[in-house]
Structure 1
Amino acid sequence: MTAALLLIGATLAHAAWNIALKSAGARGAGFLAATLLVGVVAFAPIGLPALLAGLPSTGDGLALAGLLVTGSAALQVTYFLLLQRAYRVADVGVVYPVARGTGPLLSILGALLLLGERPGPIVLLGGAFVVAGVVVIGLASAHGAGSDGAPGASRDGAAAQRRVRGVRAGALVGVVIAAYSLWDAAAVTRADLDPIGYYWASMVVQLLVFGVLVARRPVALADARAHALADARAHPWAVLVVGILSPLAYVAVLAAYQLAPVAVVAPAREASVVLIALAGWLIFREPHPARRLLGSVVVLAGIALLALG
C-alpha cells in the first residue's frame, strides 16, 4: 500500500513538472543548471541530514557509497544531455514515449538478469501492457508530428526521417533510463542507502558536473550563467516547479524500490505518460485523442495487472 501511494505521488509530480516544462518552452544547460540549483537548495535541510545519518561507518562502505552517488550523477547527466539532443533532432511526441517505453522494458530485463528478481507471469504481462500502451501513445504523437510546411512527398519524407531519428534517439535515452533505474535501485536496496540523502548527494554532484563541463571554457561559463539567469527571470515558476517536483518524484520512486521489486516499480511509474498524453490533447491541443485514450487504457490495464501481481 505504501509503495502504491509513493508511486501515485511520483506519477502526479512527474507529470506536473513535465507539463510545466512544456508550457514554459524553456530548455538548455542554463535551465537545467537553474533547476538543479533550486533542487539542491530546497532539499538541503532534509537531504544533508539524511545523507550524514545514512553514511556507512566503514571505509569500504563510504567508498561504495561515493561510487554509487558518482555513478548515479554521471548517468543522470548523460540522460539529460542525450534527451536534450534527442529533442533537437526529433519530435518530443516520438522521443518521450519511445524512451519511457524502452526504459521500463529494459529495467524488467535487468531486474531479472542483474538483480536476481523473479517476477511472476502476471507482473511480466502487466509490464508488457504498460510498454505496449506507451508505444500506442507514442504512435499517436508521432503520426501528427514533424509537419514543417514542406509540400507533398518532400514533407512526408522529411517527417518520416524525423520519426526514425526520434525512435533511435528515444531508444538510446531509454537505455540510459534503464541503467540509472537499476543502478539507483541497487543503491537503495542492496547498499541500503537512504533515498533522500542519496539522491540529494547525486544532485550536488550533477550540479558540479555541469559546472565542470561549462567551466572548461570561460566563454561557455559566462554564457551558461547568462542563460541560467535569463531562464530564471523568464520562467521563474517553471524553474521552481521542475526544480522541486523532479527530485521529489524520483525520491518517491527510490523509496518505492525499497518496498517493491524493480520489475513492478519501473513500469508502474510510467503511468505519468498517461497524464502527459492527456495533457497533450486537452491543454496543448495535440492530435489523435482516440489513440491517446486507447494507449492510456492499455497502460492502466498493465498497472492493474502489476498491482494484482
Structure 2
Amino acid sequence: MSPWALLLVIVSAVTHATWNLLSKRSSQADGVVFVWLVAVVSAVVWAPLFAGFLLVTGDVPGWRDLVAIAGSTTLHLCYFVLLQRGYGSGDLSLVYPVARGTGPMLASLVAVLFLGERPSVANVAGIVLVGAGVFLMGGDAARGGLGAVLPGVVIGLFIAAYTVWDSQVVGPFAVAPIALIYLGEVGRALVLAPVVLGGRRELVAPVWREHRWRIAGAAVLIFVSYLLVLVAFTLAPVTVVAPAREISVLIAVVLGGRLLAEGDLARRLLAAGVILGGVVAIALS
C-alpha cells in the first residue's frame, strides 16, 4: 500500500469510529428518522462542495453513472438502518467489531474470486489476522446477546456488498467519489422521506431537538470518512484498503470502553493487537 493510501485509510478510520459513537449515543431514538435526518443535513451541508465540483470539473453524472449510484444508495440505506437498529440492542464494542470483521473478509474474498485481484502471502496473512482479531473482540456475546451479534453479521454482509460495488463504481465505472457519496446522501433522503413524513412525522422534531449535534456531526463525518476510503480505492486494491481500514475497530473499542463504560476493555484491546498486526502485514504487502 502506498503511504498516501495508508494515511487516507487511517484518517478515515478515526472519523468512522467517531460517527459510529455518535450513532450509538443516539440509538434510543427512532432509527429511520435518525438516518433520514443525517442524510438531509448532509445533503444541505455538502451541497456547495458538490456544486463547486460540478462547476470546476463539468463532470455531470450520466444515466449510466446514476444507475451505478442508485445501486450504492440502496446498499448503504440498508446498512445505515440496520446499523442504527443494531446499536439499539448491543454495545458499540460488540456490534461494531462483528460488523466490521464480517465486511472486509467477504469483500476481499469477492475481490479475489470475481474481480481478478491476486493478494500476496503477506496480504492474505494480514486479512486473516484482521478477521481473527475483530471476531475475537466481538466474541463475548453475553453483554449484547444474540440480538446484537446477528445484526452485526447482517450489517457485515452489506458492508462487503457496498465495499465491492463502490470500488467498481469509482474504479472501472470512473464515477467521481464525491458524486457517488453526495448523490447517495440525496438518494437516501428522498427514499426515506415518504416513510418518515408519512408515518413518523411526529418524531422528527423531538429527535432533532435531542440529537441535533450528533446528527450534524454524523452528517459531516460520514461524508469525510467514506470520501477518503473511495479515494484510497483509486490508489490501492480492495484487498488492501478494505481490511486496513479496520483499525477503526481499535478506536471504537477504546471509545466504547472509556466513554460508554461498556467494559471488557482489556480483552478487547488485546484482540486489537492482533488487528494491528494484520494492518502492518497489509500495509507492507
Same fold flag (TM > 0.5): yes
Distance 1:295 1:19, change over 3 A: same
Equivalent-residue separation in structure 1 for 2:172 and 2:228 (angstroms) = 17
Following TM superposition, by how much is the alpha carbon of 1:110 offset from its aligned partner in structure 2, in angstroms? 1.1
Q: Which amino acid aligns with 1:136?
A: L
Unaligned runs of 5+ in 1: 57-61, 147-161
What is the root-mean-square deviation of aligned Cα atoms in Å? 1.9
Distance 1:184 1:14, change over 3 A: same
1:17 is matched with which residue?
19
- The answer to whether the Cα contact below 8 Å between 1:199 and 1:251 also exists between their aligned partners in 2 is yes
2:156 is matched with which residue?
174
- Which of the residues 34, 38, 41 maps onto 2:41? 38
Equivalent-residue separation in structure 1 for 2:25 and 2:75 (angstroms) = 26
1:275 is matched with which residue?
251
Equivalent-residue separation in structure 1 for 2:97 and 2:54 (angstroms) = 34
Equivalent-residue separation in structure 1 for 2:83 and 2:114 (angstroms) = 25
Q: Which amino acid aligns with 1:129?
A: L
2:117 is matched with which residue?
117
- The answer to whether the Cα contact below 8 Å between 1:136 and 1:294 also exists between their aligned partners in 2 is no
Following TM superposition, by how much is the alpha carbon of 1:91 offset from its aligned partner in structure 2, in angstroms? 5.3
Larger radius of gyration: 1
Report whether the alignment pairs 1:295 with 2:274: no
Distance 1:51 1:205, change over 3 A: farther
Equivalent-residue separation in structure 2 for 1:26 and 1:205 (angstroms) = 25
1:228 is matched with which residue?
204
- The answer to whether the Cα contact below 8 Å between 2:92 and 2:252 also exists between their aligned partners in 1 is no
1:150 is matched with which residue?
none
Taking structure 1 as the reference length, the TM-score comes to 0.84
Following TM superposition, by how much is the alpha carbon of 1:90 offset from its aligned partner in structure 2, in angstroms? 5.3
1:198 is matched with which residue?
180
Distance 1:192 1:23, change over 3 A: same
- Which of the residues 50, 53, 58 maps onto 1:50? 53
Equivalent-residue separation in structure 2 for 1:44 and 1:203 (angstroms) = 10
Q: Which amino acid aligns with 1:46?
A: L
- The answer to whether the Cα contact below 8 Å between 1:48 and 1:197 also exists between their aligned partners in 2 is no
Q: Which amino acid aligns with 1:240?
A: A
Q: Which SS does the other structure have where 1:192 is aligned? A: coil
Following TM superposition, by how much is the alpha carbon of 1:49 offset from its aligned partner in structure 2, in angstroms? 3.7
Distance 1:179 1:25, change over 3 A: closer
TM-superposition CA deviations, 1:155-206 (whole Å, max 9, x none): xxxxxxx32x433332221111100111111000111111112210111111
Moved more, 90-99 or 66-75: 90-99
Q: Which amino acid aligns with 2:13?
A: T
Moved more, 247-256 or 108-117: 108-117
Report whether the alignment pairs 1:100 with 2:100: yes
Q: Which amino acid aligns with 1:284?
A: L
Q: Which amino acid aligns with 2:15?
A: A
Q: Which amino acid aligns with 2:130?
A: V
Following TM superposition, by how much is the alpha carbon of 1:296 offset from its aligned partner in structure 2, in angstroms? 1.0
Q: Which SS does the other structure have where 1:293 is aligned? A: helix
1:84 is matched with which residue?
84
Equivalent-residue separation in structure 2 for 1:26 and 1:242 (angstroms) = 16
Equivalent-residue separation in structure 1 for 2:59 and 2:186 (angstroms) = 17
TM-superposition CA deviations, 1:264-298 (whole Å, max 9, x none): 11111111110110111122222222211111111
Task: State the aligned residue count.
Answer: 280
1:2 is matched with which residue?
4
Equivalent-residue separation in structure 2 for 1:25 and 1:198 (angstroms) = 27
Q: Which amino acid aligns with 2:76?
A: Q
Unaligned runs of 5+ in 2: none
- The answer to whether the Cα contact below 8 Å between 2:13 and 2:245 also exists between their aligned partners in 1 is yes
Distance 1:121 1:51, change over 3 A: farther
